[in-house]
Chains A and B, each alone.
Chain A
Amino acid sequence: MSLDAVLPDREPGRRPLLLLIGAMAFLAALALLGGLALGASAGGLARQLGDSATIQIVEADAELAATEAERALALLTGDPAVVAARAVPRAETAQLLAPWLGGAADDPALPLPPAIEIRLAPGGDAKAVARRLAVVAPAARVDVHADWLAPVARFADALVAAAAVIVALTALATAAVVALGVRAGLDAWRPTIDVAHLLGAEDKALALLFQRRYLKAGLVAGLAGSAGAGLVAASLAAAIGVGALEGAARQWWPWAVLVGVPVAAGALAGLAARVSVRAALRAQP
């Protein structure tokens, strides 16, 4: 029994405290899941598109355009900065434009600029490629995909940073709530704690008692909050598509978040309780 029976585990405010820790864990888990998912998809997008570029021959004279396109393809195929080059068939371009032009896109008379798709070698310099191209095909316009991807990537980075701030704030709020709970607990049991001290109770035993109780509270509330966040995140992924949900479930990190958040909530609550008890007791005469 020792101190556990001396200070029954039923001080006022325990329920609201569990609710608050649970809410913090919910927010933290959701922010982590969202942030990591965003980071992963932005990273995937950057990997897919970051090293590719499209070259268009913008020349009104169709014959000249075709000649320049041929010369450009020949140069690009041999260029050391380019891994792969492929002429985009006219039908493919027409299909891309169909949403804007409707049936007109299929009109063989429609002037469509010839296009070439390339993948740059790692570290390949798109500007140098463009300079070499300008010599053989002055009408070539190089569109590096990473250029228009950059704002998207910056936006994704900002969202990931916001998620990190949310996680930090929930951790801070959890520690503060635990400190308040410990104060309330120490106050509620003040007469009993005073007697226990006079009978030889040690501060460290008291600190350990509160640490254990809040560790448990953090784990339980954290599990509930984390489970809730998992359900919300799963239904969001399912709204995107069954594939997105299945894809996420195959990753390791969503599971790490769902398990890690309750563990972290328990550890944080236990530590905050220990520190608060020690501080409160040290302040006593």
Chain B
Amino acid sequence: MSSIVRFESVGLRYGAGAEVLRDIDLALDRGSLHLLQGPSGAGKTSLLRLLYFAQRPTRGRLHMFGEDVTDVGRDGLPALRRRIGVVFQDFRLIPHLSLFDNVALPLRLAGVSEGDVRAPVEELLSWVDLAGRRDDLPATLSGGEQQCVAIARAVIGRPDLLVADEPTGNVDAAVAARVLHLFLELNKLGTAVLIATHDHNLPLALPAAKRLRLERGMLVDPVTAPAAPTRPFRSLRKS
């Protein structure tokens, strides 16, 4: 089986509320590149949260890496999470740690010995052009630079799957282009990438990506879905 992720009739509700995700059937192949589109509130973040186990399906089955992980216990989560890189919408860098320590964190949490941490961290900081600021704290960086650190941290553990939530939502156009370029490079190295966005212009920047569309908690055909209003500027809305 070449799918790295497979949803089978997955539903999700928060507490006693209505389902925010309904009947999701979806397979992501190893090394694939997907864009998850949809208006704000459609459930994109919720779907990503299922993938990094911040949330568990309330209905249906979720398979990852060839295993049914729907009911995996708390003790089984760290090993799974180490195979998934996450770029959070709000970065979630650890404010009291230097850039170096932030990027090194997944390796150290996985028990990689200190001697094997330095080289990959420095390599990734160079890759995102922040090698000179390795000892700075996240708060001293611009939003775009923080985004790059978040990406470096997400990929340091060589994940099989990278998910990014609105990675271009908080940065200017030049940084957005650079961020997308990083994702493309990673994808070429074999990492499956799933990017959630409400930015209608992103498909133009990533023509190679397969498109998924969420509307009111359901996956719809991105082609037959009502055309998005074309806008000359990227939306400034956050979702």
Contact = CB atoms under 8 A, between A and B. Distances in A.
A137 B225 CA distance: 123
A255 to B, nearest CB: 41
A197 B75 CA distance: 11
Interface in B65-92: 74-75, 77-79, 81-82, 86, 92
Contacts of B54: 198
B217 interface: no
Given A3-B109, A5-B101, A8-B96, A200 B157 contact: yes
Contact of A200 (B74, B94, B106): B106
Interface in A46-85: none
B86 A200 contact: no
A198 B48 CA distance: 12
Interface in A187-246: 191-192, 195-203, 205
Contacts of A282: 74
Contacts of B153: 199
A199 B97 contact: no
A65 B75 CA distance: 89
A203 B75 contact: yes
Q: Give the interface residue-count category, chain A.
A: 20 to 34
B74 A192 contact: no
B97 A200 contact: no
A193 B190 CA distance: 30
Contacts, number: 55
Q: Give the interface residue-count category, chain B.
A: 20 to 34
For the residues of A in contact with B, the DSSP-based class is helix
A282 B73 CA distance: 11
A6 interface: yes
Contact of B86 (A6, A198, A202, A281): A198
Interface in B181-198: none
A2 B101 CA distance: 9
B94 A6 contact: yes
B108 interface: yes
Nearest to B56: A285
Contacts of A200: 78-79, 81-82, 106, 109-110, 157
29 contacts: A1-B101, A1-B108, A2-B111, A5-B97, A5-B101, A6-B97, A8-B96, A191-B92, A192-B94, A197-B77, A197-B78, A198-B54, A199-B86, A199-B105, A199-B106, A199-B109, A199-B153, A200-B79, A200-B106, A200-B109, A201-B78, A201-B109, A202-B75, A202-B78, A202-B109, A203-B74, A203-B75, A205-B109, A281-B74
Give 6 closest A-B pairs by Cβ, nearest first: A200-B82, A200-B81, A200-B78, A202-B78, A201-B109, A199-B106
Interface of A: 1-3, 5-6, 8, 191-192, 195-203, 205, 281-282, 285
Interface of B: 52-54, 56, 74-75, 77-79, 81-82, 86, 92, 94, 96-97, 101, 105-106, 108-111, 114, 153, 157
